[in-house]
């Protein structure tokens, strides 16, 4: 998991810094994470997201918190506050029938992590 913790500040440092500088610790913050980048950084985490979405996404949320903690310890800035209301928003799933749909999900998809494509 340390690879992913290193990946987050490298790819999302600006977003992490904005979150740390925000004075409202009750706000919720979304982090758009590309699935391919997660897969490159930690294939086990990527498999967890697809196989057990609730656990995998919670693991991503915890890694975002850990990345904030790492940035706080690297700086002497006392205005940074750790935010716990962070949420991974994973996009760019592989274009395979198991996870990608162009029509509405079916009851058999319940509990699966899917990406829907279409025009609104």
Tell me what pLDDT residue 26 has: 92
Contact partners, residue 110, CB within 8 Å, separation at least 6: none
Tell me what pLDDT residue 98 has: 65
Report residue 92 CA to chain centroid gap.
12
Could you give the C-alpha distances from 35 to 40, 85, 98, in angstroms and in order? 9, 21, 15
- Nearest-angstrom CA–CA distance, 2 and 25: 25
Q: Which of 42-46, 106-110, 112-116 has the highest mean pLDDT?
A: 42-46
Tell me what pLDDT residue 95 has: 74
Task: Kindly report, residue by residue over 8-55, the tens digit of the pLDDT.
Answer: 878 888 999 999 999 998 999 999 999 989 988 888 998 888 888 899
Query: Does residue 100 register a pLDDT over 70?
Result: no
Query: Does residue 84 register a pLDDT over 80?
Result: yes
pLDDT band at 86 (very low <50, low <70, confident <90, very high): very high
Residue-range domains of the chain with CATH: 2-116 (3.30.1640.10)
Tell me what pLDDT residue 61 has: 95
């Amino acid at each position: 998991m340390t690879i992913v913790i290193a990946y987050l500040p490298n790819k999302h440092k600006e977003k992490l810094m904005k979150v740390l500088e925000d004075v409202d610790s009750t706000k919720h913050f979304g982090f758009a994470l590309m699935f391919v980048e997660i897969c490159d950084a930690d294939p086990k985490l990527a498999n967890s997201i697809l196989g057990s979405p609730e656990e995998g996404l919670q693991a991503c949320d915890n890694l975002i918190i850990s990345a904030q903690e790492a940035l706080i310890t690297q700086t002497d800035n006392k205005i940074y506050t750790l935010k716990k209301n962070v949420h991974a928003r994973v996009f760019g799933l592989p274009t395979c029938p198991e996870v990608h749909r162009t029509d509405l999900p079916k009851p058999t998809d319940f509990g699966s992590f899917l990406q829907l494509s279409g025009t609104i």
